Amino acid sequence: MSSNVLNGASFTLAANEITQLPYDTGAEVAFAGRSNAGKSSALNALTGHNGLARTSKTPGRTQLMVVFDLPPLKREGGEPLQARLVDLPGYGYAKVPEAMREHWRREIDAYLKMRRSLRGIVLIVDIRHELKDFDRTMIEFCAATELPCHVLMTKADKISRGQASKALEALRKEFRVNKVPGTVQMFSSLAKTGVEEARARIVELLHTPRPHEL
């Protein structure tokens, strides 16, 4: 893909609950993942904006739903499509108070079930570790609701090529066995591994209507 439409991403708002999100029209892709999996770095690499999503040596700083508008997507024979990326709060950071964790469990659950403009989830997982409960819950939800899921196995530069390939194939096999409507790839924000592939998949998701839109 020669031009990077994600490069036009711009901060729109940060919401503490789904009622504060932009009007539920157009198309959006949401980013989810544990707070230390490299979600902010992935967003920055994909958009080409180093400071778009905050990164920190202290994980768990994203405690709001952060919305980034994209330039309208051109469609053949139709009006341009309003498009957004949504950065969901990082999950699993131990120092977050239980009340806040419970709040975000409810809000993310409501967002995933009710948001009609949501076209897919980009799930960020650390390739060096086994999937966590949150990761599996998200994958199972996507499978149950036929919500496309694209997994970025981040920090691929931290392990050998052989180890990375083995981890990638293991997760792809798990998706096939469990009939998950998802795709999986290696990714490294630092080495820029898989950046173009991920960009193309995100744009594809934004262009693909959900069954209720057809």
Question: Which residues touch 86 (CB under 8 Å, ≥6 apart)?
Answer: 21, 28, 29, 30, 31, 65, 66, 67, 68, 118
178 and 143 Cβ atoms separated by less than 8 Å: yes
Report the number of distinct structural domains present in the chain.
Answer: 1
Q: pLDDT tens for residues 163-175?
A: 999 999 999 999 9
Question: The pTM is what?
Answer: 0.92
Residue 48: pLDDT over 50 = yes
Tally Cβ neighbours within 10 Å of residue 172: 16
| Token pair recorded at residue 198 | 């991920």
Phi first, then psi, for residue 211 (nearest 5°) are -55, -35
Query: Look-up: residue for tokens 């997982």?
Result: 125
- Nearest-Å Rg of the Cα atoms of the chain is 16
pLDDT band for position 118 (cuts 50, 70, 90): very high
Q: pLDDT tens for residues 131-164?
A: 988 899 999 999 888 899 999 999 999 999 999 9
C-alpha closest to that of 30 among 95, 99, 97, 84 = 84
Which class for 160: exposed (0-12), middle (13-18), buried (19 or more C-beta within 10 A)?
A: exposed
CATH code where residue 167 lies = 3.40.50.300
Domain that holds residue 118: 5-213
User: What's the pLDDT at 148?
Assistant: 94
**54 vs 75: CA distance, rounded Å:** 32
Q: What angle do CA 100, 102, 107 make, to 5 degrees?
A: 95
User: What's the pLDDT at 159?
Assistant: 96
User: What's the pLDDT at 52?
Assistant: 83
User: What's the pLDDT at 102?
Assistant: 85
**201 vs 49: CA distance, rounded Å:** 19
Which class for 38: exposed (0-12), middle (13-18), buried (19 or more C-beta within 10 A)?
A: buried
In 66-160, which ranges are continuous DSSP H helix? 98-114, 133-145
Q: What angle do CA 63, 203, 12 make, to 5 degrees?
A: 40
% of the chain at pLDDT higher than 70: 91
Q: Taking each helix axis from N to C terminus, what angle separates 39-47 and 195-207, rounded to the nearest 10 degrees?
A: 80
User: What's the pLDDT at 2?
Assistant: 41
Mean pLDDT of 56-85: 81
Q: pLDDT tens for residues 189-208?
A: 999 999 999 999 999 999 99
